[in-house]
Amino acid sequence: MIGYSELESRARLVYDKVEHTEVCSIGFWFLNGSVDENKEQKGYAHFIEHILFKGTQNKTTSEIARCFDRIGSNFNAFTEKETTCFYCTFPSKHIEYAINLLSEIIFSPLFEKSEIQKEKNVIISEIHEYEELPDENSYDLFLKKMWHPYSLGYKITGEIKDVKKIKRDSLFDFYADRYTPEKLILAVAGNFDIKKTIDLFNRALPQKKKQAAFVPARIKPESKYSFKYHHSPIKQIHINTGIAFPTSAEMKTYYILLFFSTLAGESMSSRLFQKLREESGLCYSIYSYRSIFTHSSMWNIYANTLPDIYHDFMTKLNTELSGFLLDKFKKSEIEDARTHLEGGLILSQEDMELRMKRLARHYIFNGRSYSFEDSLEILYSVSLNDIYDFINRYFLNKKFNTLIYGNIQMINCKKYDIMIKG
């Protein structure tokens, strides 16, 4: 049963009560991410995700870890472009303990200078780790080229130079302005007493301020077309290519995009995987994925291949993209994709953490969450004509932004106009 409540602190609660489980998952979702940073604040949201676990007025870092371990919980946090989430999955009987612990960590942090300095080293190590992963590093460079100078292109962690110059006072000011109940979505899924849980949140969360701090509105970004080669002395060539289009708050549009991407490249039976890897042997990895933000969304493709077959791969990729229109998706492909997505929905029903995350993402996306039955109804309403209308509206004959990453001295740096031609 899905329900909603606005709490006394002005935080918004969305919940899904599930009777057949003894598990509960809670997420504190703040509507802040790397897009909300300016040039002097790069990496702040991600740094705050780390530093909030480094001590409160009553608990040290190690005590916080022991508190989570004591109840057998799975706790974690992550920072995205537009959200920061702190979450915990635990036996339902510990819900009061979990709410109080998460609330203390998030709303009563110390921000000690010594901990900030230690965490700088941790995050710099994290950045180096990602820079040594060509798929991750190439993606960050791809976004930077595509969205520069807008903050949507900022690296979520910030660059090393950004992390090194972070000061305690400016970091705390960023936190105090943005990590408030007014900017908070609480998502709860599992077996819990609804009234008791609302009361627990009302007691645990700080009360609303007389005047909320000013937070600048998000600027609508404009993607900039580019086709770039980036040299790295590695053995493979990594391809990131994709296109941006306006975000729609309609849930059916979301499912049309999901349906299309599943057919195109998000499953092992998808066109791109079958045609470029299985039939042609032109790559090891190839998949498509979707990203949805406040103003803009993206549909992207990632692949890696060898230098001596790189040009064959790029030619074949263009052929298969245009083939979406020339060799239309068959009825069997449509039904396989539909049952694949239905299966994913069914499996996610049994995982309270996934259920909690879906609740929050739906609510952030368009102001309501959808039950399994509602989601299935929308999924089955998507037709082949809907998919082709979507392709024609947003993708047809539009050049994809592209970044080619690898040892470019081993290939002819020819430009390709990647697109769905029709």
- Give percent above pLDDT 90 in the chain: 96
What's the pLDDT band for 10 if we cut at 50, 70, 90? very high
Dihedral (C-alpha) 34, 37, 41, 43: value to the nearest 10 degrees?
0
Q: What confidence score (pLDDT) does residue 266 get?
A: 96
Q: What confidence score (pLDDT) does residue 127 get?
A: 98
Residue found under tokens 């004509």: 385
Cβ-Cβ contacts under 8 Å for 343 (sequence gap 6 or more): none
Cα–Cα dist 276/315, whole Å: 10
Q: What confidence score (pLDDT) does residue 135 get?
A: 96
Closest CA to 150 of 28, 302, 298, 30: 298
What stretches of 327-397 show up as alpha helix (H) in DSSP? Answer: 331-349, 352-366, 372-381, 384-394
Question: pLDDT tens digits for 232-246?
Answer: 999 999 999 999 999
Q: What confidence score (pLDDT) does residue 214 get?
A: 66
Instruction: Quote the tokens at residue 414.
Output: 């020819």
Question: pLDDT tens digits for 253-307?
Answer: 999 999 999 999 999 999 999 999 999 999 999 999 999 999 999 999 999 999 9
Cα–Cα dist 171/177, whole Å: 10
Q: What confidence score (pLDDT) does residue 287 get?
A: 98
Instruction: Quote the tokens at residue 211.
Output: 């005047």
CB 375 within 8 A of CB 361: no
CB 2 within 8 A of CB 359: yes
Question: pLDDT tens digits for 183-221?
Answer: 999 999 999 999 999 999 999 999 866 566 667 789 999
Q: What confidence score (pLDDT) does residue 209 get?
A: 64
- Name the burial class of residue 66, with classes exposed (0-12), middle (13-18) and buried (19+) by CB atoms within 10 angstroms of its CB: exposed
CB 284 within 8 A of CB 385: no
Contacts 24+ apart (CB under 8 A), 194-200: 194/3, 194/15, 194/17, 196/95, 197/15, 197/95, 197/99, 198/5, 198/7, 198/13, 200/95, 200/96, 200/99, 200/100
What's the pLDDT band for 422 if we cut at 50, 70, 90? confident
Cα–Cα dist 387/78, whole Å: 32
> What is the average pLDDT value for the chain, to the nearest integer?
96
